[in-house]
Amino acid sequence: MHEGMKSRIHPTLSFTPNVVEEGGRHWTDDEVRALLCVWADRSIRERLKSTLRNKCIFQEMARQMQRKFGVVRNWKQCRTKYKNLKYDYKTAKGAHVAGGSGAGNPGKYMKFFEEVEAILLDQGLENGTMEMQKKLYNGEMGPGRLQAPAGNSSDNEIVIEIDDDDNSDDYELDGDIEAQWRGAEAHLTHTDSCSSDHFHMVAVSDTGRNWSDQEVRALIQVWSDQRICKQLESSTRKRDIFVQISNRLKQQGIERDWKQCHTKYKNLKYLYRSLQRGRTDEADPRRLMRFYDEVEAIMNHASNGSTHDGAADAAYSGALATPDGSEENHEDEVYLTKTNTVAEVVEEMDERTCSSDSVSSVATDVASNANDPKLHAVKDNRLDQHHRLMSMSEREDTSSANRGMKRKAVDQDFALQTPAKTTNTGRDFADQAEGQCKEEQEHIPIIKIKSVCSMAHPNPPSQRQDCLRSSRAMASTSELNIGQKLNEGKTKQIFELVDQPGLVLVQSKDQITAGNAVRKDQMEGKAAIANKTTSCVFKLLQESGIKTAFVKQHSDTAFVAAHCEMIPIEWVCRRVATGSFLKRNPGVKEGYCFTPLKMETFFKDDANNDPQWSEEQLLEAKFCLAGLTIGQCEVDIMNRSTVAIFEILEKAWATQNCTLVDMKIEFGVNVKTQEIVLADVIDNDSWRLWPAGDRSQQKDKQVYRDLKEVTPEAMQMVKRNFEWVSERVKLLLEPQASGRVVVLMGSTSDMAHCEKIRKACTSYRIPCVLRVTSAHKGPDETLRIKAEYEGDGIPTVFVAVAGRSNGLGPVMSGNTAYPVINCPPLTPDWGAQDVWSSLRMPSGLGCSTVLSPEAAAKFAAQIFGLSDHLVWCKLRASMLNTWVALKLADQKLQACSL
């Protein structure tokens, strides 16, 4: 572009880039002209139409504006202005058509209407950008040619910007941030008092899916919980509360993060209070807002039951943070950052099945019977069915044709208003749009709310009913009836399951701590990582045969477990000397290897920094939990179990060339069975892991403990370590080598004996094959079968089952390098004599003889356990369970004798 054209933009515009970006300042006419010139470029227009993710396009537009015109606007601001220009054009166009001869009506013009129309309709741009520039700066295009009807005054607008970047930084919800937004409430109050008309809402975009009625009802149900209400009223920092709300929604199969829950909560309150202030006889709030009665019940209960402090009052005003985490307060606009817009009452209508008669009747029922308890069940049932149907059919509305029909219906049903101001969204809200259909969806109109009805849905009833059936099927499998919170620790919460007595839900938190929470930080995603790690570890232990409280993984961040009363002791098992052990035992060098394992116990007492306890102290405490008194027998069982659990996990991690240095675990007493079981969690907070035995490569929480300063970069490193562990722990469930047992029987009369061998092998998850052959009667066939199993390369153990004179085992042993086990079925009459044919082998043969079929299978498992850690783990757990059974039998016998 030549210099003369630049000078027409603004004679005083500097071409030196201004490094200071004003996040909230409005666009001047010259800046808009610069944007239009860049937008008019054919390559830019084509890319905007065809590209799914267009952040890079707006970055290029921002660079061109700065390079060619000296206009400094970041890509987010360019994208926002681009969206609003398109929206303004469609609004003005629609208002002109709806209002007749718009040029003769009083009202506000849309600036640059003809320029935007030329770009959108590709008119007058045959010669590219230069043609557009001539039209802009030679006076061929005026400031505007269309206006909206005068009845829609932009003074009433509430401009809402959308935060839709999934990678946005976390922000704390505290009283300081909320207090800075009190001015927003004052502005809204002034707006309501100055106009009897309905208020307008501008939504720039909403790439995140809108809240369905089912999701909103679930959120309101959680919000109405008395404990949640009290926490929201009394707390100034609410992030943990909304994490809790999000988790409870996830337990019902609703995937909403804490930010989305917080935003929706704020917007429900804001919309309710706005309707309260502006309520008139002509505008029944129940027709303007879904769930008005439910929110009113909660708000009235809160106002009657308690008072708010300053921070809570600020929160009550509907204040939110801006996209970049800062706070702004403009005297003529309110900017609300959200994942799903405040105007969702409109957006839900935009994608909802509803007719004027059906919804009006529901609204009438709600209004007239709100205080009639006898009709609540009928009302809730009707609303629930109606809302569920609408929310499911909403998800089916993804075709471009349906979008066009819905947008047309909205344009016909609502009065539209041109926005007076535009703002910086701060997030890429076009990431999920597609092609030409994307342009129809890239905006959400300024809507003057008239009603929640008169919306036809394009989906046929049969389609909606299929969706409804699918929804109910999913709900029945994913939802849990969550009861009261039983306990809460630093990294998890425990909830009772109302419909499943004896079971609880263990919900992880996105919190990492060190030094008994002296250091405490939020690590986004930690709950899912910890839950994944714990679930895999408990599955490994359970498959091995260790008794645990774990039942099943329920969601990404929670698992179901048996309800236990926890024994307040941490059992610590060490293979390598490091950490606090060196401080308590000066003179021991780091890296000293304990054989046997070093066991320590610590009493859980944060106030006293979890002091170490001796066995005598533990016994003298005489803990009594779920009816079980912790005595010597119980202490011995927990001691032995800790060693076995450590050795199983040590063996498993060795397959990943990773050293399990030490570990802490906790036990509980199952309230139903009164058994001592492994409880709590085992995740990356519970152990030290050194890949290749190298401390400098440690992947556990010690990395977080060692941080001198907690920075975002450091926390990312810690998170990567946790993710590394969660990915590797899945591999612990995979066998390292496959093997099989081939049982050769001399006759089918030995089938019962061989079935016992196969059953025992199955318990170790070792495949077992039964074959019939006789070394005496068909030696060639016996050797052929042997060769068949030697040829495929699968490690094999042969078990020879032959009564009377056993030639099968010796023949196999003399002709194969694979292990051979004799397991003859002995008879009462000749058994004492027949066994010698299995015991006295010719020289050079190495087959063993085991009389018990179960013992023969175990012997084979021990051979495979040398290379398959899963088989070894089962053998190790079997040893523990045998020892525990003997210990309990002895205790019972002693009790009877006494």
For residues 361 and 747, the model is more confident at 747
For residues 233 and 338, the model is more confident at 233
- Does residue 65 carry a pLDDT above 60? yes
Question: Using one digit for the tens of pLDDT, what is the confidence trace for 847-878?
Answer: 999 999 999 999 999 999 999 999 999 999 99
Other Cβ atoms within 10 Å of 733 Cβ, number = 13
Q: How confident is the model at residue 70 (pLDDT cuts 50, 70, 90)?
A: confident
| DSSP summary character for residue 626 | T
Residue 321: predicted pLDDT: 35
Looking at residue 39, its amino acid is W
CA distances to 397, 563, 670, 671, 898 from 501, in Å: 41, 8, 12, 10, 35
768-772 and 820-822 strand pairing: unpaired
The number of residues in the chain equals 898
Give the residue among 339, 333, 107, 355 at the shortest CA–CA distance from 242: 339
> Residue 106 burial by CB count (10 A; 0-12/13-18/19+): exposed, middle or buried?
exposed
Looking at residue 872, its amino acid is W
Q: How confident is the model at residue 165 (pLDDT cuts 50, 70, 90)?
A: very low
Other Cβ atoms within 10 Å of 471 Cβ, number = 19
CA distance 279 to 795: 80
Q: How confident is the model at residue 166 (pLDDT cuts 50, 70, 90)?
A: very low
Q: Which two tokens stand for residue 567?
A: 């024994």
Terminal CA-CA length for the chain: 104
| DSSP summary character for residue 507 | E
796-801 and 820-822 strand pairing: parallel
- Does residue 106 carry a pLDDT above 60? no
CA distance 68 to 34: 8
- Does residue 488 carry a pLDDT above 50? yes
Give the residue among 145, 154, 77 at the shortest CA–CA distance from 112: 145
CB 477 within 8 A of CB 252: no
CA distance 37 to 68: 10
> Residue 193 burial by CB count (10 A; 0-12/13-18/19+): exposed, middle or buried?
exposed
| DSSP summary character for residue 518 | T
Q: What is the largest CA-CA distance in the chain?
A: 119
Residues 6+ apart with CB under 8 A from 191: 155, 156, 158, 199
For residues 854 and 895, the model is more confident at 854
CB 527 within 8 A of CB 244: no
Question: Residues 654, 657, 658, 661: is their CA dihedral positive or negative?
Answer: positive
Residue 683: predicted pLDDT: 96
Q: How confident is the model at residue 898 (pLDDT cuts 50, 70, 90)?
A: low
Looking at residue 664, its amino acid is K
CA distances to 537, 644, 859 from 864, in Å: 22, 19, 9
- Does residue 32 carry a pLDDT above 70? yes
CA distances to 38, 41, 73, 364 from 78, in Å: 11, 15, 6, 45
pTM here is: 0.52
Other Cβ atoms within 10 Å of 46 Cβ, number = 10
Residue 137: predicted pLDDT: 52
| Residue % of the chain over a pLDDT of 70 | 64
Strand order across the beta sheet in which 740-745 lies: 768-772, 740-745, 796-801, 820-822, 848-849
CA distance 249 to 221: 10
Q: How confident is the model at residue 815 (pLDDT cuts 50, 70, 90)?
A: very high
Residue 53: predicted pLDDT: 73
Other Cβ atoms within 10 Å of 854 Cβ, number = 15
- Does residue 842 carry a pLDDT above 70? yes
For residues 679 and 259, the model is more confident at 679
Please state which of the ranges 385-389, 685-689, 700-704, 805-809 shows the lowest mean pLDDT.
385-389
Q: Which two tokens stand for residue 670?
A: 């199952």
Q: How confident is the model at residue 479 (pLDDT cuts 50, 70, 90)?
A: confident
Residue 738: predicted pLDDT: 82
The alpha-helical segments, DSSP class H, found in 694-807 are 702-705, 712-731, 751-763, 779-790
Q: Which two tokens stand for residue 761?
A: 């092998």
Residue 100: predicted pLDDT: 52
Residue 478: predicted pLDDT: 53
- Does residue 27 carry a pLDDT above 50? yes
For residues 654 and 385, the model is more confident at 654
CB 397 within 8 A of CB 351: yes
| Mean pLDDT value across residues 213-227 | 87
Question: Using one digit for the tens of pLDDT, what is the confidence trace for 281-311?
Answer: 445 665 567 788 888 888 887 666 543 333 3
| Mean pLDDT value across residues 415-436 | 38
Q: How confident is the model at residue 829 (pLDDT cuts 50, 70, 90)?
A: confident
CB 159 within 8 A of CB 333: yes
- Does residue 824 carry a pLDDT above 90? yes
Residue 239: predicted pLDDT: 83
Residue 736: predicted pLDDT: 82
Q: How far out from the chain centre does Cα 765 lie?
A: 33
- Does residue 379 carry a pLDDT above 80? no
| Residue % of the chain over a pLDDT of 90 | 40
Looking at residue 12, its amino acid is T
> Residue 706 burial by CB count (10 A; 0-12/13-18/19+): exposed, middle or buried?
exposed
For residues 233 and 141, the model is more confident at 233
- Does residue 376 carry a pLDDT above 80? no
Residues 6+ apart with CB under 8 A from 633: 887, 888, 891
For the CA atoms of 330, 192, 163, 443, the dihedral, rounded to the nearest 10 degrees, stands at -110
Residue 107: predicted pLDDT: 40
Q: How confident is the model at residue 144 (pLDDT cuts 50, 70, 90)?
A: very low
Q: How confident is the model at residue 652 (pLDDT cuts 50, 70, 90)?
A: very high
Interior CA angle at 757 toward 755 and 762, to 5°? 95
Question: Residues 484, 486, 489, 494: is their CA dihedral positive or negative?
Answer: negative
